[in-house]
Amino acid sequence: MNTLLIQIVAAVAIFLAGSAAGIKWHAGQDAIAAQAAAKAREKDIDDQRKAGDKAAFRQADRLATINNQLGDARGKIARLSGRECLSADTVGLLNSIGADPVRTTASEPAGTPAAAAADQGLRFATDSDTADAIAICRAKYTGVSGQLNEILDLEERRHPPAKE
């Protein structure tokens, strides 16, 4: 009976030692996996930061190029004839597009927007005025569209589309 009791105690001791070793090994594997995940997150953050820096430099170069082109365009605009090409009504209409309406209190009647007011002394726009406005508009559009494309590229890298 003593040997049977010793064998049972030894078996239980071996089982408990094996269970403890297994739990310790499993905890070690969990710690290794957590460290690997932390390193992967750090690498992902670093990659995103580097991609953002590259995008910012590309955008700054693009904006410098656009500003140079705008300066060149303004030099050419300065050499235009200055002849009348748009009437005051057309200028007022174009200036009022996208402008915020005149804000008034409830007790006051709404006035005519400043760009569309006829008594402002604006009779016409010259070809140089028109070309300057168009050049500025195109430069700003190109700058904003470049920024939008860079943002979309960064977001696509950060959240790649799901593979089907």
| 112-151 per-position pLDDT tens digit | 444 444 445 567 788 888 888 888 888 888 888 888 888 8
Q: Which residue has the higher pLDDT, 75 or 164?
A: 75
Instruction: For residue 87, list its beta bridge partners.
Output: 124
Residue 44 confidence (pLDDT) above 80: yes
Return the sign of the alpha-carbon dihedral for residues 83, 86, 87, 88: negative
B/e letters for 62-76, b = 16+ CB within 10 Å, e = fewer, are beeebeeebeebeee
What is the C-alpha separation between 18 and 23, in angstroms, rounded? 9
Over range 57-83, report the average pLDDT. 84
Helices (H) and strands (E) in the chain, counts: 3, 2
